[in-house]
C-alpha cells in the first residue's frame, strides 16, 4: 500500500478508459506508475487542488511562527480535521503580513 507524500492519505488506482492512474484518496494528488514505483504526476498550476480554509483572520489567535515566504514572525493559526477521525487535526498558519497559508501535520 502506498501513502501520499503530501497528506499521508492512501493512494488508490483510478481507471481512466484503458489507462490506470493513481490518486490520493484524501487530497487528490495524482501519481503515475513507473516500473514498480509511483511518482508524482506532473502538475499544471491550474490543476492544483486548493483547500478552502474559511473564517475571518481577525477572529483567530496569533502565534510566533515564521513565514517561509516573507520571513515575518507572526501568523494566525487554527486547526481542522482534514484526515480521518483517528488522526490528529491539521494545524494551519496564515502570515499576518503577506497572507501566505501553510499547514503542518502532527
- Residues assigned a catalytic role: 86-87
Using CA atoms of 89, 94, 96, 97 in order, give the dihedral in degrees to the nearest 10.
160
User: Over the Cα atoms of the chain, what is R_g?
Assistant: 17
Cell of 87: 488522526
| Whole-number Å distance between alpha carbons of 93 and 99 | 9
Determine the length of the chain. Answer: 106
Amino acid at each position: 500500500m502506498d501513502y501520499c507524500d503530501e497528506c499521508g492519505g492512501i493512494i488508490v488506482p483510478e481507471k481512466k478508459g484503458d489507462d490506470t492512474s493513481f490518486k490520493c484518496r484524501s487530497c487528490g494528488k495524482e501519481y503515475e506508475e513507473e516500473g514498480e514505483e509511483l511518482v508524482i504526476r506532473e502538475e499544471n498550476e491550474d490543476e492544483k487542488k486548493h483547500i478552502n480554509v474559511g473564517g475571518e483572520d481577525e477572529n483567530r489567535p496569533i502565534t510566533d511562527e515564521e513565514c517561509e515566504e516573507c520571513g515575518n514572525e507572526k501568523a494566525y493559526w487554527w486547526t481542522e480535521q482534514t484526515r480521518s477521525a483517528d488522526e490528529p487535526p491539521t494545524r494551519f498558519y496564515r502570515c499576518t503580513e503577506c497572507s501566505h497559508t501553510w499547514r503542518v501535520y502532527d
